[in-house]
Amino acid sequence: MLTIGQLAEYAGVTVRAVRHYHQIGLLPEPERDASGYRRYGGMAVVSLIKIRILANAGVPLSQIGQLLQADEPAFAEAVARIDGQLHDEIERLEASRKQIAQLGAGDSLVLPAEVVAYIDRLRELGVSGRMLEGERDGWILVMACWPDRVAEWIPDKFAQLEDPRVVRLYLVLSELLDSDAGGDDDGDDGDDPRLVEAADIMADLLEQAYAAGAADFGNEAQDSLPDLLDSLSLEADPRSQRMIDLMRERGWNGWHRIERLADPPR
Partner DNA sequence: TTGCTCCTCACGTCACGTGAGGTGGC
Beta strand segments in the chain, E:
252-253, 259-260
Q: What is the dihedral of CA 85, 91, 92, 94, to 10 degrees?
A: 150
Residue 42 contacts which entry, its own copies, DNA, none (Cβ below 5-8 A, type-dependent): its own copies
SS3 category, 224: coil
* Binders of its own copies in range 69-88 (CB under 8 A): 72, 75-76, 79-80, 82-83, 86-87
> Which listed option, its own copies, DNA, none, makes contact with residue 94 (CB within 5 to 8 Å by class)?
its own copies
Residues 184-213 that bind its own copies (CB under 8 A): none
Burial string for 47-82 (b: 16+ CB within 10 Å, else e) reads bbeebbebbeeebeeeebbebeeeeeeeeeebeeeb
Q: Checking phi first, is residue 259 left (phi over 0); if not, alpha (psi -120 to 50) or beta?
A: beta
**Smallest distance from DNA to CB 33, Å:** 7
Nearer to its own copies, 237 or 249 (CB): 237
Task: Identify which range of 51-59, 149-157, 161-169, 202-210 contacts its own copies by CB under 8 A.
Answer: 51-59
Q: To the nearest whole angstrom, how small is the minimum distance from the Cβ of residue 69 to DNA? A: 17
Binding site for its own copies (CB under 8 A): 1-2, 6, 10-11, 41-43, 45-46, 49-50, 53-54, 56-58, 72, 75-76, 79-80, 82-83, 86-87, 89-90, 92-94, 96-97, 99-101, 103-104, 106, 109-110, 137-138, 140-141, 144-145, 224, 227-236
